[in-house]
Structure 1
Amino acid sequence: MLAWLNKKLLPSFSKQQLDIAKAKKWQLAIIGWRAYVTLNALS
């Protein structure tokens, strides 16, 4: 459920071709949150 909400509500930075080195702190926080949720959904 949480992974589905993330997919629908949070922006996809890979589609926007965001450069991680130039990302703002809030963008890095969203990337980290999505990675955390994905890893926990797989285990």
Structure 2
Amino acid sequence: MKKAFFKALVKFNNLVMPSLYQKDPMKLNNVQKAILGFRYWALTNSMR
């Protein structure tokens, strides 16, 4: 159940949230860092 929720969350993130993979993390502003962290958190939890 938990894994299915996070997989759905990752699909939602890919559709709605901006992609930041080509940008330098040190040059991102605080909102972009929060988005990047949330995407990473959801992805790692969907893989467990």
Higher-Rg structure is 2
Q: Deviations over 1:1-43 (max 9, x none)?
A: 11100000000011xx211111100000000000000000000
1:23 maps onto 2:28 in alignment:
yes
Where structure 2 has 5 or more consecutive residues not aligned to the other structure, the ranges are: 1-7
Identical residues among aligned pairs (%): 32
Give TM-score, length-normalised by structure 1.
0.88
Give TM-score, length-normalised by structure 2.
0.79
Output the aligned Cα RMSD.
Answer: 0.7
Correspondence list, 1:6-21, <5 A: 6-14=13-21, 17-21=22-26
More helix by share: 2
